[in-house]
Each structure stands twice: as structure tokens, then as C-alpha cells.
Amino acid sequence: MDDLKSKYLNLIANAGDENALEEIRVTAVGKKGEVALKMRELGKMTPEERQVAGPALNALKDEINSALAAKKAALGDAALDERLRGEWLDVTLPARGRRQGTIHPISQVTEEVTAILAEMGFSVAEGPQIDTDWYNFDALNIPGHHPARAEMDTFYMHRDAGDNRPPHVLRTHTSPVQIRHMEKHGAPCRIIAPGRVYRADYDQTHTPMFHQVEGLAIDRDISMANLKWVLEEFFSAFFEIEGIKTRFRASHFPFTEPSAEVDIQCSWEDGQLKIGQGDGWLEVLGSGMVHPKVLTAAGVDPAEWQGFAFGMGIDRIAMLKYGIPDLRAFFDSDLRWLRHYGFASLDVPTLRGGLSR
């Protein structure tokens, strides 16, 4: 028994790798190994002999297994030390570059618009995206027969039989925010209402969901001249072009009287749009003096107060400023598009409308 123990302990100590160690294990304590064969001979022994040989064989098996485990651990440590000597990492090297997230152009332009108009005294007002048809249409002097109220143009919320609540819609503009603000705060006021709006339309320049910002200024002696100044100052700051020319064209909106479409100076050169130069004009927004019926609906006396309102598509002016050709790309493009048109997180708008880089 001592010869067997000495033999295998020496073999284990001299094993050069784990493969050699495995061969020793199989030969010594495997199912057909020497120790196993010795264990089978116990049945041929007398009870007295088994009492001596049995514990000795079990002790031998345990000692060999312990030696095998210790040697395997030692071989593993030696292999790791060898690998560490051959493979090393310079922890003083800079880390690998990682792609950083970017700010979506819609979010960026919303911040730019808000910053510019904030400098002119406009605060931000918000309201629900699902609203009653009274706030979305009636309070804004939009009659029941108006095409905008048809289901082909507006998303109406489903109503169960017996539901007596007023019809609800996905707001088609942020004008309901103006009504709610005047109801709560009265006049005077100077606010903008940016946010998502919804209309049943889809092509290169229209999507079912898009973004608008509407402005409202109410006071005792506000006029179209004030509206013109605000818009010209805004365009100059937003497009970063001093003295940009505007053109007001008579139009009709149910919620303003008089109403005007506003164009900005532009030109087309080799298929490229250039803002602020040339003899062309590009429509960018609708505006006008708030209709007396709208003021009355909001609880403001039109005999005492008056004001102007304007509204423009955030997506549209983002396309114009940053050369984005298709409105649908804002919503169905991949990360490559966003990496091209997106903004780094430190590109924040200043109160002058430009970007601080």
C-alpha cells in the first residue's frame, strides 16, 4: 500500500500539464484504476483483513484525490502567471472611443425656438394632447361644418354606446392651450405652446403626428405691427440672418381676424434652398389678430383686450434650417440618420438663437 501511495504521489508531483494529470487520475482512481482494483479484492478477504485493508484503501484514494486537486490548482495558477507575463495591458492608455447619443433635431429646434421667444418675454404653456372638440374647435370659432372637423382630417377618440361625455380628439393644433391659459390666467398674457399635434395626413411634407409651436400675446393696445416685429426678430435669430425680409399675405383662419400667411425671403440655386436672399418667397406660418369670439370663449372681454397669435411647424422650420429633405425621416429613420442630423448634448441653444459649441 505504501509503494502504491509513493508511486502516485511522485507521478502527480512531476505531472507537467493537466492532460498528464488526467491520465494519472484515470490510472490511479478511475473505474479501472489500481486503487479500484484493490477495492474489488476486499470481497475475497476475511473480515479481519477487510477491517485493516478497507480504511487504508479509502485513505489512499482520498490522499491521491487531494494531491490531484492541489496539483491541478497549481498548474492552473502557473498557466495564468505565464499568460500574464505574455499578455499585459497598459492601463495608462486612453479608453476606446464610444458613440455618444445625440439630441433629435425636433428636440433641438424646440429648445432653440423656446430660447429665442423667451428673450422676447414669452413663457411656455402646456395642455393635454387629447382634448374635447370644444377646446379644439368650438372655442376657436371653427364651425361644425368646417372640413377640419371631418373624420378624414381629425382623429376622434372611440366612444362606447351611452357615453355622454363630449367628443374627444387628438388635438390638431396647440391652440387649445391658448384657450385653457386665458381661462385660468386671463389677460394680459404672452405665451408659446409647443408640442405634438395630430392630423390624418401622410406624404413627404405631412405626417399623422408632428410638432407645432403657437404664440399668443394679449394686451390692451397690441397690433399687427407688434406681430410683424416679433416674427421678424424671431426669423433673424433662428436662421441667424440679420434683416431677413418677410411678406404678409391676407388669408383666412376662423380664429383670427384679420389673418395673414407669412412668407420669408428665399432663393433656389442648383436645387438648393437659401433663406434670406434672392427674389423668391417661402410660406412658413399663419398668423393674425385673435378673433373676438375666441377671446369671449376664453373669458376675456374683447372690448378691453386684443392680441395676436401665430403658429408654425417645428418640423418644417427644422427642415428649412438644417437641410432635411423629407418630413417622414424624422420618425422612421435609423441611427445613421440621427448621427448625421442629430446634435451633441453640449450643443445647447443660446438666448440669441445660435448654438453654443
Looking at residue 89, its pLDDT comes to 74
d(CA 172, CA 196): 9
Binding residues: 257
pLDDT top residue among 330 and 293: 293
Residue 288 scores a pLDDT above 70: yes
Q: Tell me, rounded to whole angstroms, the distance of Cα 226 from its chain centroid.
A: 37
Residue 356 scores a pLDDT above 60: no
Residue 350 scores a pLDDT above 60: no
- State the alpha helices, DSSP H only, in 1-46: 2-14, 18-29, 34-40
Q: Percentage of residues in the chain with pLDDT exceeding 70?
A: 92
Residue 348 scores a pLDDT above 90: no
Instruction: Tell me if 197 sits within 8 A of 171, measured CB to CB.
Output: yes
Q: Structure pTM?
A: 0.67
Angle at 185 between CA 182 and CA 186, to 5 degrees: 55
For residue 7, count CB atoms less than 10 angstroms from its CB and return exposed for 0-12, middle for 13-18, buried for 19 or more: middle
- Strand-pair category, 189-198 with 123-124: parallel
Give the other-Cβ count within 10 Å of 18's Cβ: 13
- Strand-pair category, 348-349 with 355-356: antiparallel
Q: Band the pLDDT of 204: cuts 50, 70, 90.
A: low
Q: Which fold has domain 105-341?
A: BirA Bifunctional Protein; domain 2 (3.30.930)
Q: Band the pLDDT of 355: cuts 50, 70, 90.
A: very low
Binding residues for Mg(2+): 257
